Chain A
Amino acid sequence: LAKTTQPISMDSYEGQEVNITCSHNNIATNDYITWYQQFPSQGPRFIIQGYKTKVTNEVASLFIPADRKSSTLSLPRVSLSDTAVYYCLVGDLSSGSARQLTFGSGTQLTVLP
Chain B
Amino acid sequence: EADIYQTPRYLVIGTGKKITLECSQTMGHDKMYWYQQDPGMELHLIHYSYGVNSTEKGDLSSESTVSRIRTEHFPLTLESARPSHTSQYLCASSGHGAFGQPQHFGDGTRLSIL
Contact = CB atoms under 8 A, between A and B. Distances in A.
Nearest to A94: B98
Contact of B56 (A94, A95, A97, A104): A97
Interface centre among B56, B58, B92, B105 (most CB of A within 10 A): B105
A interface, size bucket: 20 to 34
Interface residues of B, number: 28
Contacts, number: 74
A34 B100 contact: yes
Contacts of A36: 103
Interface of A: 32, 34, 36, 41-46, 49, 87, 91-106
Interface of B: 31, 33, 35, 41-45, 48, 56, 58-59, 90-92, 97-108, 110
